Amino acid sequence: MPRFLCSLIALLIAALAWPASASQRAISFDDHAIPDSGAVALVVKKGLPALGDYATLDTASDGALTRAAKTAGFSGELGSVLNLPGVGGYEQVLLIGIGDQPLSTRVLEDVGGLVGQAAVNSAAPRIELLWPDASIPAAGAHLALGAALGGYRFDQYRTPKPDAPVLGEGEIVIRVADPRGSRTAWENDWQHVAEGVRFARDLSSEPGNAVYPEIFVERARAAFAGVANVQIEVLDEIQLASLGMRSLLAVGAGSQRPPRLFVARYRGAGNDEAPFAFVGKGITFDTGGISLKDNENMWRMKYDMSGAGSSVGALLALAKRQAKVNVVAVAALAENMPSGSASRPGDVVRTASGKTFEIMSTDAEGRMVLVDALWFVQERDRPRAIIDIATLTGSQVTAVGDEYAGLFARDETLASLLIDAGVASGEELWRLPLHDSYAKDLESPIADLRHSSGNRKAGAGVGAYFIGSWVAPEVPWAHLDIASMAWRDDPALPTVPVGASGFGVRLFDRLVRDHLEPK
Ligand code: BES
Ligand code: MN
Ligand code: ZN
């Protein structure tokens, strides 16, 4: 059988085998009123002051809520939750601590997230979240965003146990002062952000045997079906070769699964404006190649395509919410495997730009796929700014841990807009240096550059510097190293369950929403 037929059939089988997307509780909105039975979630301030719904329900239950809270040592601290099954006439009462700091959309999202997480482990068919405060417009939409993000689970590969109670199914009703405004803001806007995050999380959670470059492309195509003003372009290995993208091809050379370049272009601001570009590292599995990783944490490298998932997920969110902006998202997709056809340390690679580099370790593959993708997007789209996003280095994990992604930028304005969007979205960035001395570390005796320094100094910065060498100096550019942020280890955050985080989607959405879209 011809090879292309074989791969076509394999693709069809893979497509048919896709599990249905994970179940999540439906979200609806209603007036703020206290139901007299069922499952309710209510907020409590620090120190348990007798205020609002908490006071009403506490009185109605003869002080049962305060007694339970005191016994459990629950004091309403921000981010704390007390789960009380069977209080008075209620199946379940959830007390959500909100501390005593000023309210913000971030606090709302965390409250929603805590309810979403608690709802995963509840058999109550309907959980009602009570939010009496009317000071933040469309508060319900932010509660809903949090609930959708916190209630995310990836359970495609688990077989349900026949006799176990059904947990995490049903709905979450958000009871707010402006249910109509909240519903509109959710349906027209924030629900699409949640969907972009879910897209990114699903792909990062999928194992390497399920998602390889061609499947990433199929999943992305399916997600964009019917979405207006989006054009998709996919380059296969033959097209990549004819464009001279040998750096991307060199990473995929050891794998049975050919590389791809996936490009999605969204026009929400007419045909004249140059787009912003989000370029993501899309290594569907990173063994290290010939510079093989050791086994201990290798399983994690299924999420080495998280940057690609987030750049495409962000564009999905922007297109679905019809943001007034032009954006191009590029996913540089390859699988990094060792084999007789794999690249070796010491190999010299000519990139599509014509510039050459020497491979120091085949485990520094992220920068290799990114530089060809960066060349491509600059040639084709002439972007007004470029942000690349990548699980690039262990060095970033060491430097900033799992509170921040690393930000490297040559452009002060872009850097400060990104930091600001990080705070507003809760996906925070910490800026790290891009020192000119890194150029010396990247000198090669045989090629224009070498692709890493071979010592352990400033590894994240040297990687960023290499990538930046492929971006024209006049183009505002930033690089995000999300190695530590793409996967959340225990403990969960309110809006980030343990596992794939989708880090970057909310950040990019906020960047566009707060700074790039016309007001
Ligand atoms: N994908 C890894 C980086 C990574 C590490 C991501 C931990 C997430 C968690 C990347 O391809 C890699 O292997 N980087 C090397 C670069 C080095 C060889 C210059 C690293 O950080 O060791
Ligand atoms: Mn690697
Ligand atoms: Zn990698």
Tell me: the pLDDT tens digits for 180-208? 999 999 999 999 999 999 999 999 999 99
What is the spatial distance between Cα 403 and Cα 456, in angstroms, rounded to a whole number? 22
For 379-395, the pLDDT digits (tens) are 999 999 999 999 999 99
What is the spatial distance between Cα 286 and Cα 301, in angstroms, rounded to a whole number? 5
Please tell me if the CB atom of residue 391 comes closer than 6 angstroms to any atom of ligand 1: yes
Please indicate whether residue 257 is annotated as part of the active site: no
What is the spatial distance between Cα 298 and Cα 16, in angstroms, rounded to a whole number? 28
Residue in the structure block whose two tokens are 């930000």: 407
Please tell me if the CB atom of residue 453 comes closer than 6 angstroms to any atom of ligand 1: no
**pLDDT class for 8, splitting at 50, 70, 90?**
low
- What is the reported pLDDT for 13? 52
Q: Could you tell me the two tokens for 1?
A: 């059988």
Q: Is 60 exposed, middle or buried (0-12, 13-18, 19+ CB in 10 A)?
A: middle
Least Cα distance to 93 among 73, 71, 118 occurs for: 118
- What is the reported pLDDT for 162? 87
* pLDDT of 7 strictly over 80: no
Q: Could you tell me the two tokens for 240?
A: 């990549």
142-170 burial code (b ≥16 CB/10 A, e <16): bbbbbbbbbbbbbeeeeeeeeeeeeebeb
Which residues are CB-contacts of 54 (< 8 A; sequence separation ≥ 6)? Answer: 42, 43, 44, 48, 65, 95
Please indicate whether residue 46 is annotated as part of the active site: no
What is the spatial distance between Cα 343 and Cα 259, in angstroms, rounded to a whole number? 14
What is the spatial distance between Cα 17 and Cα 10, in angstroms, rounded to a whole number? 11
Please tell me if the CB atom of residue 459 comes closer than 6 angstroms to any atom of ligand 1: yes
Average pLDDT over residues 48-59: 96
Average pLDDT over residues 75-102: 95
Give, as residue ranges, everything with CB less than 5 Å from ion ligand 3.
283, 286, 304, 366
Most ligand 1 atoms within 8 A of CB, residue of 287, 290, 393, 482 to mutate? 393
Share of the chain above pLDDT 70, in %: 96
- What is the reported pLDDT for 454? 82
Average pLDDT over residues 27-36: 97
CA 399 vs. chain centroid, Å, equals 21
Strand 26-31's sheet: what is its strand order? 26-31, 171-176, 126-130, 38-44, 90-97, 81-85
For 105-162, the pLDDT digits (tens) are 999 999 999 999 999 999 999 999 999 999 999 999 999 999 999 999 999 999 988 8
Which residue segments constitute the domains of the chain, with CATH numbers given?
26-192 (3.40.220.10), 208-516 (3.40.630.10)
- What is the reported pLDDT for 163? 85
What is the spatial distance between Cα 275 and Cα 323, in angstroms, rounded to a whole number? 13
What is the spatial distance between Cα 293 and Cα 78, in angstroms, rounded to a whole number? 40
Q: Which of 106, 293, 380, 384 is catalytic?
A: 293
Q: With H, G, I as helix, E, B as strand and everything else as coil, classify residue 119.
A: helix
Q: Could you tell me the two tokens for 404?
A: 């921040």
Please tell me if the CB atom of residue 345 comes closer than 6 angstroms to any atom of ligand 1: no
* pLDDT of 500 strictly over 80: yes
Average pLDDT over residues 30-40: 97
Q: Could you tell me the two tokens for 88?
A: 């008075």
**pLDDT class for 267, splitting at 50, 70, 90?**
very high
Share of the chain above pLDDT 90, in %: 92
In this predicted model, which residue has the larger pLDDT, 8 or 322?
322
The pTM (predicted TM-score) of the whole model is 0.96
Which residues are CB-contacts of 159 (< 8 A; sequence separation ≥ 6)? Answer: none
Do 336 and 364 contact (CB within 8 A), yes or no?
no
